[in-house]
Structure 1
Amino acid sequence: MRLLTKAAYAAPSVGLAGVSLPLLIFLPTYYATQRGLQIAAVGAAFAIIRLLDIGFDPLIGAAMDRTRTRFGRFKPWMAVGTPLFMLAVYALFMPPAGAGLTYLVLALLAAYAAWSICFVSQLGWGVALSGDYAERNSIFGWWQAAYLLGSLVITTLPLTPALRTDPALAVPTMGQFILIATPLAVIVALLVVPEPPSGPRPRVALADYLKLMVRPNIARLLAIDLLIGVAVATNAALFFFYFGFARGLPFGQAAILLFATNLGSLIGALLWGRLGSLIGKHQAASVGFIAYAALLAIVHLAPFERLPVGAGVMMLFGATLSAGPVLVRSMLADVGDEERLLRGADHTGLISALFSNSNKLGAVIGPAVAFAVLGATGFQAKTATQAPETVRALALMAIWAPAAIGLVAALLARGHALTAQAHAEIRTRLQAQTP
């Protein structure tokens, strides 16, 4: 597959990432500090809406599986979802004066629903692009690199002189970037990237969705994706709070560390897929999750008073963050082939929806628990200093809990049964079935 095709396929991730990172880091802080909403209420709003949105994904995935057009089954959904996404971004990132909790809930509901359409369609589209074990690593490596490029831009914005002196402008500026980057990238992807023809339209029922969830290989990958999602989302949601209150760093310096983290993730996106092709995706994922846990401990001990040292540590830590998105999604494509062989139906849309759900659940559970724990210890976002027990709870939730979860995910990844050899046999049998 040409590099241009992979790059064009990945391009919409730049804008989609512009929402993902703020939803975890910037928007909760923005609505709690700049808009004056209670942090517990903000955390609950983000958690409840994302839980409601989980029920939306299987409906979208099933509809995509049954879609048959001359343009493909996933590309039309991307074309429809993008303008809805633009409207939701405008509402969420540029709220009017006096916008309260009800406004936040409605804007979140629209943003998550539109993002789901775009995310599931892009993921399913990528799964369909190639059946090659190693090629899929490359496809999702490009996908992750584009995603991280968007994250880098988002984390750079607060470092600009104008936004550094007025943090209240950071979130609206992020919204402006998303409104420009996303439609341009989607247009390029729709024009440049083909979508392979689909097989017969499958029967899709709720029972199919439930059966997929208990397939051994799919269930294992879902558990891994959920665990890593919980760990990463927890750490991300507490990023500025941890470095501000537990490490005593000003916002500007913490923003530089976040930029270094995303820069390291971008480098990692180019490396994990290659390692997966060399030693197997499951083995590479296990190595990545163990490294993630180890680097979290180093982050807690590193001397961040010296910015170059701290930035270097965060780049190394950031490199570990790409292992899950690249390798787990590549393994997802492989189990889709296994499912097609065993059941005789292509449920790429439903499988993509399952993994969209695990991603969302992780982003719900981690921050919700973390904010609840901090709220119970008396944490106040606008207070300059915190009680010692609050600082300890902050370190527990931002560092040690994610590290422990990463080790569990590494153990699960080592037991994944669909190796390169097993997948090659599946592809051979699928090709033999093709008339």
Structure 2
Amino acid sequence: MTESQSRPSPGGVPLSTVLAFSATSVPIAALAMAITVHMPAYFAASIGVPLTAVAAAFFTCRMIDIPVEPALGLAMDRTRSRFGRYRLWTIVGAPLLMAGLYMLLQARSGVGTGYLIVWLMVMYLGLSVLVLSHAAWGARLATGYAERARVFGIMGGVGVLGAIGVLLVPIVMQARGYADHEGVRAMIWAIIGLTPLAVLLVVWRTPETIAPETGGHRFRVRDYAELITHGSMARILLADLCLSLGPGWMAALFLFFCRDRMGFTTAEANMLLGVYILAGLVGAPVTGAVAARIGKHRAAMLSSAIYSAALVTLLFLPRGNVWASMPTQFVAGFVAAGFTALIRAMVADVADDIRLRQGKERAGVLYSLITSTSKLALASAVIITYPLLARLGYDPKLGRANTPEAIQGLTLAFTAGPIVFLALGAFCFVGYKLTAERANEIRRELEARDAALYAEAEPIEALTGAGSSPLTAPAARPS
């Protein structure tokens, strides 16, 4: 691979390339939906694991996984192979995720918490590898401020196809007479089948470039501290925690709220959830386009306000009327899909700033921090809301037979928690400084330095006859 082939391509990323690269978003989004909505309820209601034990298992795995994330990110950033950097790790993540899901399918009534923790950990490890490598690779694929908003927005939109597709599985299964737990099992099998197909498409059709670096490759403690204390990154981390916890909180209680407060069947609740997710197919790309015009941080603040307003309207809708609830779910899903895309695009801008300062690629480590906050938020949603419902006297096995006081407590928990955290997330971006102007200035400085490093490497290649620069590892080209 020659030095010129290792450089980023000028101009925007072709839509066909973005769509192919977004394929990994399909199983990732599908699994995220299954984890936040169906899997905890499946283990509690169908396998018979107590609510507190389910919450403990998921929370424990998240807590164990969080310190592993930075190590994975660092390993990815330091990888230099003929297969590229993040491409290689994408291939590694798929079998880990599939193995964990398969073993979780083998869980039967009376399964211990230890069994759940072990195989949830394997599943989460594979998911972490796929999410980190995909996001960091995306930051290298798109380099401009507005271009990143576009690319990550499309990635979010494509991911919606996976989420909505996996939600259709239990709906179809129930319509054909299968029980709820059989629908969840079919959902997990679908994710296992989608994962290798998506990964193969991404590694086959997407180019990867490796940025030139200055100095050695040693990662010092102060380098890591600089990532966390970076002004913009610190704001993003706290905002991501809140913006993930708000919708995650709602998702953890969604089925209970729809069934026992709104009077919907499980199939109807899944239909509404499908509308919520399907809205993101348009919402994520549109949010990216809006962010390119008004700024990513402003788009996040606007989305938070719209989401909260939509959530409040649910309390005034007639019970049992699915059609009346659909517009509200569509609006909430439309803006919610943009949260993840905006945060990921903003981290890519921070990665540029860090590379300009430290001279080394840190995208993998930076995205590990973001995925850690997201996992902490989603785990906290379960560990907080499920015990909270128990304290409020709500029993999921009783369904609509719960007392009016318990149903009222469920309603308050469902609405108040997300609104509070979304407001906190929006507040984090007040005074945000890594604007489009600053991000573009950083890109110009990086491109000038990269050009000098490439030029410096050319005489070395000519003398050694090497096919690649010592500053850049070879990267595979798309077929």
Query: Which interval holds the TM-score relative to the shorter structure?
Result: over 0.9
Equivalent residues in 2 for 1:2-401, closer than 5 Å:
2-96=14-108, 98-162=110-174, 165=177, 166-200=179-213, 202-384=217-399, 385-401=401-417
Q: Is the 8 Å Cα contact of residues 158 and 164 (structure 1) preserved in structure 2?
A: no
Aligned-pair CA distance for 1:219: 0.3
Task: Read off the aligned partner of 1:48 and give its amino acid letter.
Answer: T
Letter aligned with residue 209 of structure 2: P
Partner of 1:431: 447
Query: Aligned AA for 2:412?
Result: L
* Bigger Cα displacement from structure 2, 360-369 vs 197-206: 197-206
Partners of 2:430 and 2:167 in 1: how far apart?
33
SS in 2 for 1:168: helix
Instruction: From the superposition, tell whether residues 160 and 297 of structure 1 become closer, same or farther in structure 2 (CA, over 3 Å).
Output: same
Partner AA of 1:24 in structure 2: T
Q: What CA distance in whole angstroms lies between the structure 2 residues aligned with 1:397 and 1:109?
A: 29
Name the CA distance, whole Å, in 2 between partners of 1:213 and 1:370.
29
Q: RMSD over aligned Cα, in angstroms?
A: 1.6
What residue identity is the alignment partner of 1:45? A
- In structure 2, give the amino acid aligned to 1:170: G
Q: Deviations over 1:95-147 (max 9, x none)?
A: 35653323212221111111111111111111111211111112111211122
Aligned residues: 435
1:413 corresponds to which residue?
A: 429
Q: Tell me how far apart the structure 1 counterparts of residues 446 and 96 of structure 2 sit (CA, whole Å).
A: 37
Distance 2:228 2:319 in 1: 43
Aligned equivalents of 1:378, 1:305: Cα separation in 2: 23
CA contact (8 A) 2:295 2:435 kept: yes
1:131 alignment partner, SS class: coil
The 3 A distance-change label for structure 1 pair 71 and 188 is same
Q: Offset of 1:309 from its aligned partner?
A: 1.8
Equivalent-residue separation in structure 2 for 1:387 and 1:307 (angstroms): 23
Range that drifts further, 325-334 or 403-412: 403-412
SS in 1 for 2:40: helix
2:157–2:284: 8 Å Cα contact kept in structure 1? yes
Residue 336 of structure 1 aligns with an amino acid whose one-letter code is A
Q: Which amino acid aligns with 1:195?
A: E
